[in-house]
Amino acid sequence: MTKEQKLKSIADTLAKDMSLPLKEGATNDVPGTGSANADVVFIGEAPGKHEDEKGVPFCGAAGKFLDELLASIDLTREDVFITNIVKHRPPENRDPKPEEVQAYWPYLEQQLAVIEPKVIVVLGRHSLARLMPGLGTISMLHGRAFKKQNRTYMALYHPAVALYNGGMRKVLLEDFQKLGILLKKLNIKK
């Protein structure tokens, strides 16, 4: 089975899993999108309204900015894999509850096991807290890379922060340049 087929199988299992706590209120499953052979995986918190409607992560305003950020280091969505910890939209875009995160966690673990990325980019405080617990806050760690269990992690602000605070746009662009430098150091190409 190819990596693409394995990711599709995970998405199919997700689609059939009626035990997932946010499934009932969802319009679409949002398993993730991009290359099954990606060296870089971006992980956000949970789908929002637009993502729920289309079944694609980061397809709203924050996603447009993410596309711009990727382009700033010569990457596209097709070069990376983009997903969230939680694969269905929480009601009213509230933060996922710990038990909801726990219910979806095996799906993310399976995706990462298939893709085998060299770099995992955590987008925002929720992803940071789950994937790099106890290291600090996103405001302390953004733009920095960390090694954990033979993987490199980089913490970045969630692109949506720039929609609410225009000054954060510059910070995110600068942090993406640091990501580009890291990828060159690790000899990761498109």
User: What are the sequence ranges of the domains in the chain?
Assistant: 3-185
CB 50 within 8 A of CB 11: no
pLDDT tens, position by position, 113-149: 999 999 999 999 999 999 999 989 999 999 999 998 8
pLDDT tens, position by position, 158-189: 999 999 898 999 999 999 999 999 999 998 87
Its pTM stands at 0.96
Q: Which CATH number fits domain 3-185: 3.40.470.10, 3.30.9.10, 3.40.640.10, 3.40.50.300?
A: 3.40.470.10
For 85-172, list the strands marked E by DSSP. Answer: 119-123, 144-148, 151-156
**How long, in residues, is the chain?**
190
DSSP H or E segment with residue 115: helix 98-115
Question: 51: which residues sit within 8 A by CB, 6+ positions away?
Answer: 30, 57, 58, 59, 60, 63, 84, 89
